[in-house]
């Protein structure tokens, strides 16, 4: 039996309907959401963010820097998370304390909604 006979015929279009005519994301919303995905797409950043967010408050950098990369690399990744608006920090003496920004992941819940 030829391969073409085993394939189902594609559904025939019956015309346009408005059931899938939702406007989708705005350009600004898609830029913001893509930035969040980009920031969280790195495994080290994802680990750092999950540790900070799981804390439920603020956490000292000394308690989150053991993620298998050097300290300068940790600082780089924390900066990317800050630039994306996912975390913020405050220096106290020689230590820096980080916390997750409430609602920063809210744009992700709107995808496909």
CATH code, domain carrying 33:
1.10.10.10
Q: Are 73 and 113 in contact (CB under 8 A)?
A: no
Backbone dihedral region for residue 91 (phi beyond 0: left; psi -120 to 50: alpha; all else: beta) = beta
Residue 80: what pLDDT? 96
Q: Kindly report the average pLDDT of the chain as a whole number.
A: 85
Confirm whether 5 is domain-assigned.
no
Confirm whether 37 is domain-assigned.
yes
Confirm whether 98 is domain-assigned.
yes
Domain that holds residue 71: 29-108
Residue 107: what pLDDT? 84
* Three-state secondary-structure class, residue 97: strand
Helices 71-83 and 43-55: crossing angle in degrees, nearest 10, is: 70
Confirm whether 66 is domain-assigned.
yes
Which position has the higher pLDDT, 76 or 106?
76
Phi, psi of 94, deg, nearest 5? -90, -10
The total number of structural domains in the chain stands at 1
Alpha-carbon distance of 64 to 10, in angstroms, equals 52
Residue 65: what pLDDT? 84
Instruction: Encode pLDDT of 68-80 as tens digits.
Output: 899 999 999 999 9
Confirm whether 4 is domain-assigned.
no
Confidence of residue 111 (pLDDT cuts 50, 70, 90): confident
Q: Are 67 and 48 in contact (CB under 8 A)?
A: yes
Average pLDDT over residues 37-50: 94
Confirm whether 21 is domain-assigned.
no
- pTM beyond 0.85, yes or no: no
Looking at the predicted structure, is the pLDDT value of residue 41 above 90? yes
Confirm whether 42 is domain-assigned.
yes
Confidence of residue 37 (pLDDT cuts 50, 70, 90): very high
Confirm whether 58 is domain-assigned.
yes
């Amino acid at each position: 039996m030829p391969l073409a006979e085993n394939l189902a015929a594609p559904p025939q279009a019956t015309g346009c309907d408005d059931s899938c005519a939702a406007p989708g994301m705005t350009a600004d919303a898609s830029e913001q959401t893509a930035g969040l995905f980009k920031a969280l797409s790195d495994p080290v950043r994802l680990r750092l963010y999950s540790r900070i967010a799981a804390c439920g408050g603020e956490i000292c950098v000394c308690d989150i820097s053991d993620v298998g990369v050097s300290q300068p690399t940790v600082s780089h990744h924390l900066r990317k998370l800050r630039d994306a608006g996912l975390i913020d920090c405050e220096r106290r003496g020689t230590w820096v304390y980080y916390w997750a920004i409430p609602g920063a992941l809210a744009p992700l819940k709107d995808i496909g909604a």
